[in-house]
Chain A
Amino acid sequence: MSGDLTYVTDVMRASQGKWSETRTSPPITETDVRRWAIATFYPEKPPRIYWDPEYAATTRWGGIVAPPDFNPFAWSFDRGPSARLSMRGQRADGSAVTGMNGGQTDTYGVPMRPGDTITERSRLIGWWEQEGRLGHTLFVRSEIEWRNQDDEHVRTRLSIGVRF
C-alpha cells in the first residue's frame, strides 16, 4: 500500500464474515440450460446431456442437468453479491472502482436441473490491497453458497474480486 490510500469502506468492515440475506433464482428451464451450453461450447455443439431429454433420461442423471458453471441468477432483478457495496470498495472521493474477476474455486454438490430454484447466500471473507500494474488494487475474497429447493448443497464458490 502507498500511505493511507485504501478502497476499503466502512460497509465492508461492518459486513466482514456476516452472511447476507438470501435470494432465490427463478425456476431453471430447459431453454436456459440449452442456451448456456450452446454459448459456452460455441461454435461446437454441446453434449446431449445438456439439451436432449430423451438421451438424458438414459444416463445416471435420469434427465437433463445444467453445466456445473450454469448461473441461474443471470437474469435476476437483484444483481447479487458483486453489485453490493459490501463487496465493492470505493475511492476516497466516493467514486466507483472498476471491478474484474480475479478467480474462483467452486466445490459442487448435486447438479442443477430444469425446475430447480436455487437459493444463494454470500459473505465477505476478507481483503488485501497492493500496488500493481493497474495502480492501487483491492482484492476482495468472498464466499457464495447455493442450495436447491430441497436444501441440497449445489455449489460453494470462493471468489476473488479485483477492484482498481
Chain B
Amino acid sequence: MSVRFDDIQVGDRLPEWSRKTSFPEWNRYAAVNHEFVPFHMDDDAGRAAGNPKGAFGMGNLRYAYIVNALRDWIGDEGIVREAGCQHRVLNCKDDVLTVVGEVTEKVIEDGEQRVRLEINVVNQDGVRTCPGHAVVVLP
C-alpha cells in the first residue's frame, strides 16, 4: 500500500517507527556491515571512546531506521531519492529509537512528484538525537 502524492499535505507526519536497540540489533548490523568496531561491542571500549554508559550503537544503523521508516510509509511504488542526518547524540543500550518526520514541501522536479520531509530520531527520553531530512518520490 503506497501513499500517493495527491493525498499528502505539508504538515503531514510520518508514521512513527520504533526499535529498541541493544546488542541483538547492533550485533546483527555488525555482521551484515562488517562493522566490528570495539566501541559497538564492548562496554569498556565504549567508555574509552568517551561514552560513560559503555558500548553504543552504529550511526549507520540509526540511518537505516530512517530509510526503513520511509520505506514502510511510501511502500514499494515509492522511491527514497535522498536522505541525510547528523549523529548528534549517541545511541546507548536499551534506547528506544523512534523515527519521526514532517512533510515540509511538495514539488514536481525532473518529472518526479517529490515530497520533502524534516526527519529526526527521538529516544525514550524525548531527546532528538539525529536531525535530518529526506526526499521521497510518490506516485
Contacts and interface: CB of A to CB of B under 8 A. Distances in A.
Interface of A: 32, 35-36, 38-43, 46-47, 49, 59-61, 67-69, 71, 74-75, 98, 100-108, 133-134, 158, 160, 164
B84 A68 contact: no
A74 B32 contact: yes
Interface of B: 19, 24-25, 28-29, 31-35, 39, 49-50, 58-61, 63-65, 67-68, 71-72, 76-77, 79-87, 130, 132-133
B58 A101 contact: yes
Given A39-B29, A69-B67, A102 B86 contact: yes
Contacts of A69: 60, 63-64, 67
Contact of A103 (B58, B59, B79): B59
A67 B59 contact: no
B79 A101 contact: no
Residue from A67, A71, A106, A134 having most chain B Cβ neighbours under 10 A: A106
A105 B82 contact: yes
A132 B91 CA distance: 19
A133 B33 contact: no
Given A42-B28, A47-B71, A103-B85, 12 more contacts: A35-B31, A36-B33, A39-B32, A40-B64, A42-B19, A42-B24, A59-B77, A68-B67, A68-B71, A103-B86, A105-B82, A106-B84
A71 to B, nearest CB: 6
A81 B52 CA distance: 29
B58 A47 contact: no
Contacts of A105: 82-84, 133
B85 A104 contact: yes
Contacts of A59: 76-77
